[in-house]
Amino acid sequence: MDTTTPRRLSTKDCAKGIRAKLRAAFPGVAFSVRSSTYSGGSSIRIAWTDGPRPNAVNDVAKVYEGATFDGMTDLKSHLPAREIDGELVECGADYVFTSRTVTDFDRLEQEATARILAGCMVETLANGMKRFGGDWVESLAGGMVRDADFRDADPLAGSFDRIVLRKT
């Protein structure tokens, strides 16, 4: 096989590849993977509830993204061919979008807020708003919930370190 000429994957083939990679990377997590083709190109939308962090899913799925968009210049640029599973391919899906739904977000946000208040020296302003490290506690708590890995026994522990304490 000629490895210098990439094989072009259709949007449908990209969606199949994403499904297989997600199934292997995150067993037991149900993902919805839907492709759309339209006059300006094509895209794949991935949705799931709870489960892994969005960044982890992006790391798996965005490999199949075939284009970028620069909103400042209103320009779509195609990405070069890349190697997937040992084969040089061009991805037909322009964009891959991911969206996670968090069950009981409000309760978890309250739990995250309590963790921040208990574990950090928080500044309380005259209007009652609370800050830690220049960030609003409410924003940090929401970020903790959005960043949580719900496969962990304590999903907010890791996100507390990453979002609030900024540990990498």
The residue from 80, 101, 122 where one domain ends is 101
- How many structural domains is the chain composed of? 2
pLDDT tens per residue, range 33-81: 999 999 989 999 999 999 999 999 999 999 999 999 999 999 999 999 9
pLDDT tens per residue, range 69-120: 999 999 999 999 999 999 999 999 999 999 999 999 999 999 999 999 999 9
Residue 40 lies in a domain: yes
Domain of residue 69, residue span = 7-101
* Half-sphere exposure in the Cβ direction for 123 (13 Å, CA): 8
Asked whether residue 71 falls in the same domain as residue 131, the answer is: no
CB of 167 closer than 8 Å to CB of 157: no
Residue 91 lies in a domain: yes
Residues in Cβ contact with 163 at an 8 Å cutoff, skipping those fewer than 6 apart: 140, 143, 144, 147
The residue from 101, 126, 155 where one domain ends is 101
Rounded Cα distance between 62 and 159, Å, is 22
Residue 2 lies in a domain: no
| pLDDT attached to residue 129 | 95
Asked whether residue 66 falls in the same domain as residue 19, the answer is: yes
